Amino acid sequence: MHIKSSEQLSTLKENTDLKVLDLSDFENIDKALFLNMFDLAGKSIESSKNYLNTINVFPVADGDTGTNMSHTLKGVVVGFKNTKFKDLNQVLNYISRNIVLKSQGNSGSLLASFISEFCNSLLNQTINTTNLAKALTNGYNSAKNTIQEPKKGTILDILEVFSQIFSEQSKTETNILKVWIKALEEAKISLENTINILPEAKKANVIDSGAAGMYIVLDGFRQGMLSQTILTKALDESKTEIDDKLENNFDDLDYTFCVEFIIDCDKESLESLKIKLFDFGDSIQIIPSNGIIKIHIHTNQPDELKIIAKDHGHLANFKSEDMGAMRNNWIKQKHKPLTQTIAEIESELVSSFTKSNDGKMLKLLIITDSSADISKSLTDNNPIWSLNIPVFTDEILSIDLNSSKKINMFYEQMKSDVNFIPKTSQITKVKYEQVFKEALKVAEQVLVLPISSGISKAYEAAIKAKEILNSDRIFILDTQTSSAGLGLVIKHVFNKLEQGLDLDEILNSLIHLRSKLKVYFMVENVKYLERGGRISKGKSKLAQLFNISPLLKLKDGAIQAQKSKVYFSNPTKIVNLLFSNLEKHHKNVNLKDLFIVYAADSGFEKAKLLTEKIEAKLSFNIQPDQILPLSPVIGAHVGPGSIGIIYH
């Protein structure tokens, strides 16, 4: 039998009863209540996801609407547990900044766009009916504007009606709950009508699943205001019958793949990409939020689309899912996970030398990793392959970290979000084996210069990969360094090549350089070292109490604290200590091979101070390519505001 919309809604009505005990004196929402609203909304959509998956027929009947909406909301709610927000603005910023990154699928992206702008609109505002009305309207408009071809009978209908009724009621009523409930009542009517408006829903005789999910989220907010218990809404008894009926209503897919990615590009490039997207498919969503742009599209040409998108900007988190396979798995109740894995991103090279060699084999190719801080001139003009060391949080990869804009956002979040604890993965033996095979096709000899074995197991993985291939053309050196130290080692290789040295001679000179290399750095706050397990909690608390910045050294491939330190630290004291350490050895230092690295804007300010001091005291002009941003692979462990100096 068909499941009628009224029967589906009865389950919603039963478990989202709009009666409340006390509506008096409810004119403002504070930080604690706002957090509880999102917590309850997350639990509500999670408990309803199977029901929503069951009735999912638009835009594609692939049974993932509930999963996607739950994943999106849970992505931010899970961060509440261990985060101490100072005020409501921090909560709003946290949600707005993260929800688009955590969003998944068509419905999840719409939900994220609405919530992101909703939270942005409430910044620095008292949360009352007037400001809520504006925020809801802005959220609806944001969601609507992300869709290139919006349709009636969907999520947008719920948001439109809810925001309109809330705005109308807020003109004469200041009680938030009363206005919210009135808007929910009208939204419920709109939800019931989706079965008559949306052709796909009408054909399958179901209400729209995305619209139902949005209603459940909005009602979850209401329950959060009242701290009610969330009840399960799934229609378990009818699930098999609905699946059987919907299976007969499936049409062939016009587009097979669901593609999502984040792109960093300018406005002109985005407008150009928008035009091209229409040639690739439908269900196009373009979501700008807090400096990033997320794209969602259904297409038959994911690989070609990726190439086109790369021509328009820097990509991150590119995902392509086969919706036909997902639909078949759903019928079998074997849902495919949609979260992109670290292994998928790890397979992409951060950078690759592409200069023509007239078809000849390269004499030497260097393979390094993204912990290395290397000047652009060096990477542009020499055969260097750099493997990506993923930086992630909560087992989800972070956004693109290969532009200064993204790196600044990364460090800013480290400072403002106590729950944002970046971690780094490592390059696997399998990945090295794959890359080595490709490298041997283009180079006579391959020199592998990984991050120090005292910091990562990359060196060990590279050795094992070489043993598997049993190649005498692959040479691996434990550099015992990272950051610009690793960049300096690579620079040294090409200098020696120009001097006519062979690889054996170069390796011997590298071993000598390694013993002379000095890598010093100082952190702005030791809490990041504690998060990464570099120092104990006791030492961290003591250092934070007295604002101590210790001088750290990369020695024998591992980070070691030196006796020198500054108390009640400030930028000038940090720079003075680093300079005094350099000054002791400067007569034996090749200043042309000196590098300064920094993390975030506050680190850059220290780098400028240190540069000025070196130029004034040592009469040497530091060149622009001697001052480099610190790789987030290292920055994830030392934190924003850190500064380092490397020389030999």
pLDDT tens column, 519-535: 998 888 888 777 766 66
- Mean pLDDT over each residue of the chain, to the nearest integer: 80
Work out the burial of residue 214: count CB atoms within 10 Å of its CB; fewer than 13 is exposed, 13-18 middle, 19 or more buried.
Answer: buried
pLDDT in tens, 218-261: 988 988 887 644 443 322 324 334 444 444 444 456 777 888 88
- The residues near 200 (Cβ < 8 Å, ≥ 6 apart) are 57, 58, 59, 61
pLDDT of residue 446: 95
Q: Are strands 391-393 and 384-387 parallel, antiparallel or unpaired?
A: unpaired
pLDDT of residue 50: 79
Unique residue bearing structure tokens 């604002």: 547
Q: Does domain 518-647 have CATH number 3.40.50.261?
A: no
| Domain 5-18+25-247 top-level CATH class | mainly alpha
pLDDT in tens, 478-519: 999 999 999 999 999 999 999 999 999 999 999 999 988 999
Distance between CA atoms of residues 159 and 118, nearest Å: 11
Cα torsion 541, 546, 549, 551: sign: negative
Phi, psi of 647 (to 5 degrees): -165, 175
pLDDT of residue 10: 41
Per-residue CA distances from 185 to 219, 404, 553 (Å): 10, 47, 64
- Greatest mean pLDDT range, 48-52, 128-132, 580-584: 128-132
Residue closest to 162 by CA, chosen among 198, 118, 227: 118
Per-residue CA distances from 617 to 576, 583, 595, 621, 629 (Å): 12, 9, 17, 11, 24
Work out the burial of residue 430: count CB atoms within 10 Å of its CB; fewer than 13 is exposed, 13-18 middle, 19 or more buried.
Answer: middle
Element (H, E) at 45: helix 31-54
For the chain, the structural domain boundaries read 5-18+25-247, 257-280+292-340, 358-390+425-514, 518-647
pLDDT of residue 274: 84
pLDDT in tens, 415-473: 777 777 787 878 888 889 989 998 999 899 999 999 998 888 899 999 999 999 999 99
**Residue of 488 and 312 predicted with greater confidence:** 488
Q: Does domain 358-390+425-514 have CATH number 3.40.50.10170?
A: yes
pLDDT in tens, 545-573: 778 888 888 877 677 778 887 777 788 99
pLDDT of residue 291: 66
CB half-sphere exposure, 637, CA atoms < 13 A: 17
Instruction: Indicate the pTM of the whole model.
Output: 0.50
- Greatest mean pLDDT range, 4-13, 192-201, 248-257, 620-629: 620-629
pLDDT of residue 327: 60
Cα torsion 462, 463, 468, 472: sign: positive
CA torsion, ordered 250, 256, 262, 268, to nearest 10 deg: -110
HEC profile for 451-506? CCCCCCCHHHHHHHHHHHHCCCCEEECCCCCCHHHHHHHHHHHHHHHHCCCCHHHH
pLDDT in tens, 351-360: 444 444 556 7
611: pLDDT confidence band, cut at 50, 70 and 90? very high
pLDDT of residue 239: 38
pLDDT of residue 594: 93
End-to-end Cα, the chain, rounded Å:
79
Which residues are paired to 264 by β-bridges? Answer: 314
Phi, psi of 198 (to 5 degrees): -85, 120
Asked if 373 and 389 touch (Cβ cutoff 8 Å), the reply is no
Instruction: Please report, as a single letter, which amino acid is at residue 576.
Output: N
Distance between CA atoms of residues 101 and 410, nearest Å: 12
Distance between CA atoms of residues 264 and 392, nearest Å: 18
